[in-house]
Amino acid sequence: MQLAHFDSLDSKAGIVLGFAGAIVALTPGGGHLLVELGRAVAAVSGLSALWSFWPRRYWHIDLQALRDRYLAAEPSFARLRLLDTQIDMAEIMRGTVASKALRLKVSMAALAMAAVLTAAGSGID
């Protein structure tokens, strides 16, 4: 479930990055101060989305090491050790996913602000 959430955050960050890049690239230069400010905020949004999207290491179980270490172990002990490992991985990933989601929220807020500033500046110009 965490992996699906992790992937969905990456997808959303990619969309935000694309829209921020479009605002930066398609906004006419030399316009009103609000347009330039909107372009700058869109660039910040894109950088924040890129930071959120940046690949991170996702924890996984090394099945070969599990087989090598616990082949001769009591099955109940091996199952308990596997469950403890999965709980540890979930705890580690919880912080990673939460920080990724926070950066994506910042990026989306900056993108919304950039769109408003750019539209307002274009309307004034």
pLDDT tens per residue, range 9-30: 888 888 998 999 998 888 887 7
Give which of 37, 30, 34 is closest to 123, Cα–Cα.
Answer: 34
Instruction: Evaluate if residue 36 carries a pLDDT over 80.
Output: yes
Using a cut of 0.75, tell me whether the model's pTM lies above it. no
Contact indicator for 46, 20 with CB cutoff of 8 Å: yes
Q: Which amino acid is at 50?
A: L
Domain layout of the chain by residue ranges? 2-124
Q: Report yes or no: 16 and 44 within 8 Å, Cβ to Cβ.
A: no
Amino acid type, 33: L
Contacts of 125 (CB under 8 A, 6+ apart): 31, 32, 35
Residue 6 structure tokens: 């992790």
Residue 58 pLDDT: 60
Six-digit token string for 120: 């307002």
pLDDT tens figures, 55-82: 666 666 676 777 777 677 787 887 888 8
